[in-house]
Amino acid sequence: MQKQPYFALLRHSVRTFISSARRSYLKLAGLEVKAGGSLGKISCKWPKNVKIGAECVIEDRVRFHIASPFSADNYIRLGDRVFIGECSQLNCVTSITIGNDTMIAANTTIVDVSHEVNPAMPINKQPTFGKEIIIGNDVWIGAGAIILKGVTIGDGSVIGAGSLVNKSVPPYQMWAGSPARFIRNRD
């Protein structure tokens, strides 16, 4: 019966080593990540445009997509102690900024870009346009939420699971639904 704790310890040690190696590789590629926390199996083709604060926990299969990697204005910045759940996506054409102590549950999509829908032109030829997204400090975003371009979510706000946020949310409010609407103040 002592084999189970031994194998669990061995598995933990191997995972810690792999996480450390992944972090080192991404740092060499330009990712700026401060000490502490954990970095899962993320997808990040242009790591030099992504900055991750101290003690962040980024779970497996989180995707950081940068559309214009050679632009200094195209970036994703995470504050300290940010949690991003499994299978979340951050699609960035302008900028996405996330404050300290924010929790983003699994399967959340944050996308700062849209495109026109002019019927005189094929959809794949339509021009795109982006607008920055700012998520404040101490924010909780529920599983499967979608945050669209130009949205600012104020400090201390809560976004319900499965919500579609297409307009800005004032500080310390709870919003939910599709599209998201005010539910109540966070007291």
Q: Which residues are catalytic?
A: 115
3-state secondary structure 48-79: HHEEECCCCEECCCCEEEECCCCCCCCEEEEC
CA distances from 9 to 1, 6, 13, 15, 149 (A): 14, 5, 6, 10, 44
List Cβ neighbours of 63 (8 Å cut-off, separation of 6 or more): 42, 43, 44, 88, 89, 90, 91
Q: Which residue in the block uniquely carries the two structure tokens 């242009």? A: 46
The pairing of strands 180-185 and 158-159 is unpaired
Assign 24 to helix, strand or coil.
Answer: helix
CB 154 within 8 A of CB 172: yes
The residue type of 54 is A
Q: How far apart are CA 43 and CA 83, in angstroms?
A: 16
